[in-house]
Amino acid sequence: MTVPLHPRMTIPAPVKVQAPGKINIHLGVGAANNGYHELATVFQALNLGETLTLIPGGTRTIIVQGRYADAAVPRDDSNFARRAVDLLIAALEGDRDVDVLRDLDIVIDKQVPVAGGMGGGSADAAAALVGAAHLVGGVDEAILHECAFAVGADVAFLLRGGTAIGHGRGEKLSPVLTRGTFHWVMATSASPLPTPDVYARFDELNPDPAPATVPDRVLTALAAGDPDTLAESAANDLTEAAVSFMPEIAEVMEAGRDAGAVLPLLSGSGPTIGFLARDAHHALDLAVLLQATRGVNEALRTTGPAPGAHIVDEG
């Protein structure tokens, strides 16, 4: 579908794209090298995601709406979605006609908490890449992956979705067999926790960390769809560092355990905490109890694994 502008010019119709949020089911952190830590992580995409609408023929405007529209989301060229599109333009320029991407307006329906370790900004970038690729008639997967990684380590995973192991900075991905649906309650905080600060504190607490690994039992539990085995083996190496900044994280984790959560798990570098429930009914009960817990801003129910960034509407 196209909208006529001139007898010799057309502008493609807007395209709407959805991308998931994420949780790190396991996050192993190794030593820093050239400013970046070696990671061994298991990502799972969540059905709590972002929706972007890319509108060609605009004025490079970014509009943020939705549940978290009032949060400090950049509206300029530093926005992850805009950066992703500009990187794709640079990657394709000279080989492809990319003029349709230069003046895109981007509307972000913000449904993932901001600065909570759930990858909302990364989801925006992944959605923008998929939508922009569609507008130019398709892009090689390797180019999309390169642009994704240039924006952030989580973006490449959110292009793919599902469940995957990430090595390096998280960009070297391998799919993970997962059976069944995992029910999560994500407990957010009213206070942000800057990622660089958490990693710097991790370095202080772990001057000689062991190599980052993913325990075999984590993968076995995911393949079996077994929450109890997963709870015995999954961990996040950044938890101690995050708690040193925000002691209430430990208090909320303990409240979740007392409320029957199978597994409390810091999401990324925090401060959001994911609580694994046994089923949908348990997740509902857990969310009600956590919502009344001191230190919890919101208790959001979601499930995983979810699909990666994908187009939901053309025009």
Please check if 1 is assigned to a binding site: no
Please check if 168 is assigned to a binding site: no
Measured distance CA(115)–CA(171) in Å, rounded: 20
Please confirm, yes or no, whether 172 is among the known catalytic residues. Answer: no
Please check if 113 is assigned to a binding site: yes
In terms of Cα–Cα distance, which of 303, 275, 271, 268 is closest to 290?
A: 275
Please check if 122 is assigned to a binding site: yes
Measured distance CA(227)–CA(262) in Å, rounded: 7
Largest CA distance in the chain: 68
Please check if 192 is assigned to a binding site: no
Please check if 119 is assigned to a binding site: yes
The residue with tokens 């892009």 is 139
In terms of Cα–Cα distance, which of 197, 49, 34, 206 is closest to 122?
A: 49
CA angle centred on 126, ends 241 and 306, rounded to 5°:
80
The pairing of beta strand 298-304 with beta strand 182-188 = antiparallel
What letter does residue 249 receive in the DSSP assignment? H
Contacts of 223 by beta carbon, 8 Å cutoff, 6+ apart:
176, 177, 178, 179
Out of 22, 109, 110, 237, the active site residue is 22
Helix, strand or coil for residue 95?
Answer: coil
Please check if 118 is assigned to a binding site: yes
Please check if 280 is assigned to a binding site: no
Please confirm, yes or no, whether 154 is among the known catalytic residues. Answer: yes
Out of 86, 109, 154, 237, the active site residue is 154
Please check if 268 is assigned to a binding site: no
Measured distance CA(234)–CA(41) in Å, rounded: 10
Please check if 128 is assigned to a binding site: no
Please check if 315 is assigned to a binding site: no
Show binding-site residues for ATP.
113-123
Show binding-site residues.
113-123
What residues are labeled active site? 22, 154
